[in-house]
A and B are shown apart, each in its own frame.
Chain A
Amino acid sequence: MRIINRKPSRVTALALGLLPFLATILVYAIASHYRRLDNPADKLLPSLESMGNAFWRMAAVPDRRSGDLLLWVDTADSLWRLGSGMAIATLLALTLGIAIGFIPHVRSALAPYIATFSLIPPITILPILFITFGLGEASKIALIVVGTAPVMVRSTAQAVLDIPREMIIKAETLGASVWQMITRLVLPQVLPKLLTALRLGLVPAWIFLISAEAIASTTGLGYRIFLVRRYLAMDVILPYVVWITLLAFLLDRLLLALSRRTFRWHHLGSDAL
């Protein structure tokens, strides 16, 4: 049988999926082992055990200075910033995206502006945000919004334009007003695609969050890894990176599950990733 026609069973698929992860851990463990043979105090590739200890210390032992459990404080602060930023970006995508995609006059007025705005590298705006909003939460949230909203607005507007013209005309012949078409046709057709835009927007959102926290902050996951970088504390940095990745992965899966549950009709045809 040709290899393209061979399908793995469920168990094989799971095992194959785990393989690269296990291989990475194994390669790391071997490399770390040999480095520490040369120098037991090596900081670059700490042992899995010392990383586990460091992670436990961050998660379960109160900080000596503040008395906080640092991992959870960092996680809560970062997720709050990420969540607020993405909530604002999603709201903008929904309102502006539908207006631009559905109403030609608004499209003429705003589409070129949003397209231009989306080309500004968001990080270049960060100093401006720090100057105008100060170093508090607002500037970090604003960076996430500036970095993700324009692209999400554009993809939502495109999703509206992709609604088959036939459906819109059919709604007109059924006597719908523009508002009714937005609530009963455009919104439900666009929401699953907005969730996809949100999932894709989370990738740059994490980048902007960590960047903003690294530059000016006193808490947060990004702040922590850039803080301990000064002491070459790889035993903290590496578990934090894994933790951030895990959070991003769980958020993505959560949104996918939400989409499957809420918009069953959208997933009836061919399924996407």
Chain B
Amino acid sequence: MTGAPKLSVRGLTKSYDGMPVLERVELDVDTGAFCTIVGASGCGKSTFLRILLSQEHPTRGTILLDGHPLPDEPMPDRGIVFQKYSVFSHLTVAENLILASEFEKAPLSGRLFGRARMSALEGIDDLLMKIGLCAAKDKYPAQLSGGMQQRLAIAQALIKKPSILLLDEPFGALDPGIRLDMHELLLGLWEELGMTIFMVTHDIHEAFKLGTRLLVFDKIRHDPQAPEAYGATITYDLPLNGQSGKSQNQPGDIADALRPPVLAQTTITQIR
């Protein structure tokens, strides 16, 4: 890829009540990259994603999107899929999918009626086919399986054609078999639409399989007397060879970085 990066993070630090969660994060991501983000629990990878979404704001540092500062609230330019509660429980599948166009075309009521509604509903037929929810289009999310709900959530997040898609452990609650289907769906959409994807996952095999680039978040400094004193940053930034899974880096190499810090414990044993 040439030209300016799609997204550029400089000196990003995020603290809660003075406790740093992320520190000195530097990152440049090209258009169309599929970044998978892994790390131990509580290492700030979800915080990083929420900052990219503008749900939270950096304590220090800058983030440039297409060369401009990131907007300070969530906007249609960045789509999001959460692990849970991503779709609207009071709307049927079809209603969930036409909601964005209703927002756009009916500023006051936020609702389309009659012919406009019919044509909006017709407009999502292809999409329903693609995510395999044609038969379920009049069902409420509570009547769908977990996999179907997440397919709907992904489709809904892509309706506004965001240039960046953020995924926060989207398949964390799904069965392994369903996950494979979801991987295919996601890769297909990514190839077709060419958006830049950031995906937080707990599953390192998933991270290697899907990503073109693997980001590992971990703490590089540890103070055994004050485990909270330092935040995490990107410790590994690996380019992956597409989706073949034949990367030179094996999951085992990264596994060390994912283990929770045991330093504090060893120190105590040594003192004894």
Binding site for B on A (CB under 8 A): 164-167, 169-177, 179-180, 183-185, 188-189, 263-266, 268-269
Contact = CB atoms under 8 A, between A and B. Distances in A.
Which 8 residue pairs of A and B lie closest in terms of their CB atoms, listed nearest first? A180-B110, A164-B85, A166-B85, A172-B74, A268-B142, A174-B100, A265-B140, A188-B90
A180 B86 contact: no
A173 B110 contact: no
B31 interface: no
B53 interface: yes
Given A171-B99, A172-B73, 15 more contacts: A167-B89, A170-B87, A172-B74, A173-B162, A175-B103, A176-B110, A179-B110, A180-B107, A180-B110, A183-B110, A184-B99, A188-B90, A188-B91, A189-B89, A268-B143
B111 interface: yes
Given A174-B100, A175-B103, A167 B140 contact: no
B140 A264 contact: yes
B99 A167 contact: no
Interface of B: 53, 55, 73-76, 78-80, 82, 84-91, 99-100, 102-104, 107-111, 140, 142-143, 156-157, 159-160, 162
24 contacts: A164-B84, A166-B84, A166-B85, A167-B85, A167-B86, A167-B88, A170-B82, A172-B73, A173-B74, A173-B75, A174-B160, A175-B76, A175-B104, A177-B107, A179-B110, A180-B107, A180-B110, A183-B111, A184-B102, A188-B91, A189-B90, A265-B89, A268-B140, A269-B142
Contact of A184 (B55, B84, B111): B111
Nearest to B109: A183
B157 to A, nearest CB: 7
Nearest to B99: A174
A184 B107 CA distance: 11
A169 B140 contact: no
Nearest to A184: B110
Q: Is the interface of A mostly helix, strand, loop or mixed?
A: helix
B88 to A, nearest CB: 6
A165 B73 CA distance: 13
Given A174-B99, A184-B111, A268-B142, A166 B86 contact: yes
A160 B130 CA distance: 34
A84 B252 CA distance: 69
B110 A174 contact: no
A189 B99 CA distance: 15
A173 B100 CA distance: 9
A166 B90 contact: no
A169 B55 CA distance: 8
A266 to B, nearest CB: 7
Contacts of A189: 89-90
Contacts of B156: 170, 174
B191 to A, nearest CB: 22
A177 B108 CA distance: 9
Nearest to B108: A179
A34 to B, nearest CB: 56
A180 B79 contact: no
A263 B110 CA distance: 19
A176 B106 CA distance: 10
B90 A265 contact: yes
B94 to A, nearest CB: 14
Contacts of B85: 164, 166-167
B103 A180 contact: yes
Contacts of A180: 103, 107, 110
A268 to B, nearest CB: 4
Contacts of B157: 170, 173
Contacts of A167: 85-86, 88-89
Contacts of A169: 53, 55, 74, 80
Contacts of B162: 173
Contacts of B90: 188-189, 263, 265-266
